């Protein structure tokens, strides 16, 4: 079975890429390149799916978009 997940990719202050899957709580990884990150997040999702029952996986979320919001603090 093929499933599709939304992956959020960020870059930390050291230039390391961090990927997370919002609908799979705790499913994340990091890498020095985007190519390596792509491989690692697929592995992380596969491992997550192996150890988690379908009933324990959160509801599917439809990706709408990302928005930056500025607030005064």
- Distance, in Å, from the CA atom of 64 to the CA atom of 29, rounded to the nearest integer, reads 22
For the chain, 73 residues long, give each residue's pLDDT as a single digit of tens: 788 899 999 999 999 999 999 989 899 999 999 999 999 999 999 999 988 876 666 667 788 888 889 999 9
Indicate the fold that domain 1-73 takes in CATH.
Double Stranded RNA Binding Domain (3.30.160)
What is the torsion angle, in degrees rounded to the nearest 10, for the CA atoms of residue 50, residue 54, residue 55 and residue 59?
A: 120
In whole angstroms, what is the distance from residue 62 CA to residue 73 CA? 31
Cβ neighbours of residue 43 closer than 8 Å, sequence gap 6 or more: 29
Q: Which residue ranges make up each domain of the chain?
A: 1-73
Write down the pTM of the prediction.
0.80
Which tokens sit at 61?
Answer: 């979320």
């Amino acid at each position: 079975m093929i499933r599709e997940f939304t992956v959020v990719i960020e870059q930390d202050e050291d230039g390391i890429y961090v990927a997370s899957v919002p609908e799979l709580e705790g499913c994340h990884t990091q890498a020095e390149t985007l190519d390596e990150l792509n491989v690692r997040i697929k592995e992380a999702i596969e491992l997550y799916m192996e150890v988690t029952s379908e009933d324990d996986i959160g509801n599917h979320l439809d990706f709408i978009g990302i928005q930056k919001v500025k607030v005064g603090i």
